[in-house]
Amino acid sequence: MDIQLQNLRKTYGSAVAVADMSAKIPQGRMLALLGPSGCGKTTTLRMVAGFIAPTSGSIRVGATDITTLPAHKRDTGLVFQSYALFPHLSAAENIAFGLRRRGVARAEREQRVTAMLDKLKLSGLADRLPRQLSGGQQQRVAVARALVINPSILLLDEPFSNLDAKLRESTGLEMSRLQREFGLTSIFVTHDQTEAMSIADTIAVMKDGELQQIGSASEIYERPANRFVADFIGRANFLAGRILRREGQDAVAELAAGLEMRLLDPGAAALPGAQGEALLRPEAIALADHASPGSFKATVEQISYQGAIANLHARLADGSAIVASVPPEDARGLAPGKLVGLAPKPAALIWFAKS
């Protein structure tokens, strides 16, 4: 079933935790709520789960308005950041908890728990208490417990943040496979943009309770709606500048004290004289000769090899720092102190007017 959040709002006194959050998640899709801590993503998730009553707005699942439905009557599976496994119950008993509450008969219950244990590779661990399980196993028990009740919605609250980096990636892919297999409409809260981009269909970026942008991973990365989104998703260089003139849809701006650059479709507000910043992703920069036209003249300060790429840390003439990610072979022969030209790739500059 699809989920629809409409102007969802939560305030505590004068503090706004979530302001006018609207989003629609089609059946079987996954929405990631992404943002730094305190941005309202967890509050939004907990409103959907029914733990926090919204101040205003509504939550619909399919055709039903569940805004005021108590948590235990909502058909949601929830995986907590801390897993929230009942410490006095074994893995199997934890998984059976929701089935018992739903009055599922013993035989069916046992069969469904066993099937779920198998599916999540927990077969030998049924009788262990949570504290006798590793972090990854605990996480799988938490997932099994949420899935076994066949919920129509799956909610994930930073489910991988307590796992180590390697486990995180494989678990994330496994999670996304299960979600598709069960056809679950899902909301996933995270502060990790890589995680969000790799498993969610749609990403909602939030900050200070406000929705900043909602869209697919590529939309958000390539056409960020504002400076915050550009900065939060991926690495970013921001070059201060001023619009010089309009040329039809496009504009020409002076960036980083000196260089004139063409901005594609910077919006109607980019009138001559307007101050602002241009986003330039590190990987959208090519190395050029320092005298070549259309490139920034920069002094190399440090080169760090990352294997697949090399990050070139350099300083522009106006003193601002810039990072370029270039193929390692291009960076060969460069050393701190050397002058290089940094050429933005076509259409790489995105203009943000000064607010």
Partner 1 sequence: MTISFRSPLGFVLLLLAVLAFGYLLLPILVVVAAPLGDTGYLAFPPRGLTFKWYAAALHDTRYLSALAVSLRIALTSALIACTIGVAAAYGLTRFSFPGRRLLEAIFLSPLILPTLVLAVGLTLFFTRTGLLVGSWKLVAAHVIVCTPYVLRVSLPVLRRFDRSLEEAARNLGASPVMAFFLVVLPVVRPGIVAGTVLAFITSFDEVVLALFLAEPGAPTLPVMIYSAVQLGFEPSVAAVSGLLVLATLGLMILYHLLGTFGGRRN
Partner 2 sequence: MTKPETKGGGARWALFAPALLFAPCAFVYAVFFIWPQASLLAISATDAAGLTLAHYQRFAGDSYYWEILGRTLGLGAAVTAITLVLGVPTAYLLARVQSRWAGFLLLLTTFPLLVSAVVRSFGWMVLFFRDGLLSHGLMALGFADKPVQTMYTMAGVIIALAQVLLPLMILTLHGVFKSIDRDLEYAAMSLGARPIVALGLVTLRLASGGIVAGSLLVFSLAISAFATPSLVGGARANVMATAIYEQAIELLDWPFAAALATILLVTVLALSLAYGALLEGRGEREAAR
Q: For binding to partner 2 (CB under 8 A), which residues are involved?
A: 46, 49-51, 70-74, 76-78, 80, 82, 84-88, 97-98, 101-102, 131, 145-146, 149, 155
Is the CB of 53 or the CB of 115 nearer to partner 1?
53
Out of partner 1, partner 2, none, what residue 88 binds, judged by CB under 5 to 8 A for its kind, is partner 2
Cβ at position 235, least distance to partner 2 in Å: 34
Report the nearest approach of partner 2 to the CB of residue 16 (Å). 17
Confirm or reject binding of residue 269 to partner 1 (CB under 8 A). no
Residue among 80 and 238 whose Cβ is closer to partner 1:
80
Write each residue from 34 to 73 as x if it is in contact with partner 1 (CB under 8 A), else as -, in one continuous string.
-----------------x-x----------------x---
Per CB under 8 A, 317 contacts partner 1: no
86 is a contact residue toward partner 1 (CB under 8 A): no
102 binds, among partner 1, partner 2, none (CB under 5 to 8 A by kind): partner 2
In DSSP terms, 247 is beta-bridged to 250
List, as one string, the DSSP characters of 238-292. Answer: EEEEEEEEEETTEEEEEETTTEEEEESS--TT--TT-EEEEEE-GGGEEEE-TTS
Look-up of token digits 């919204």? 54
Question: Would you say 87 or 319 has its CB closer to partner 2?
Answer: 87
Shortest distance (Å) from residue 259 CB to partner 2: 53
Alpha-carbon distance of 355 to 350, in angstroms, equals 15
Nearest distance, CB of residue 49 and partner 1, angstroms: 12
Give yes or no for a contact between 34 and 202, defined as CB atoms under 8 angstroms apart. no
Within 8 A by CB and 6+ apart from 143, the residues are 79, 120, 159, 175, 178
- Angle at CA of residue 305, ends 325 and 343, nearest 5°: 25
Please, what is the minimum distance in Å from the beta carbon of residue 116 to partner 2? 13
From the list partner 2, partner 1, none, partner contacted by residue 53 (C-beta under 5 to 8 A by kind): partner 1
Nearer to partner 1, 84 or 126 (CB): 84
Spatial distance between the Cα atoms of 36 and 193, rounded to a whole number of angstroms: 10
CB-CB contact of 78 with 146 (8 Å): yes
Contact 10, 52 (CB under 8 A): yes
CB of 75 to partner 1, least distance (A): 20
Footprint on this chain of partner 1 (rule: CB under 8 A): 51, 53, 70
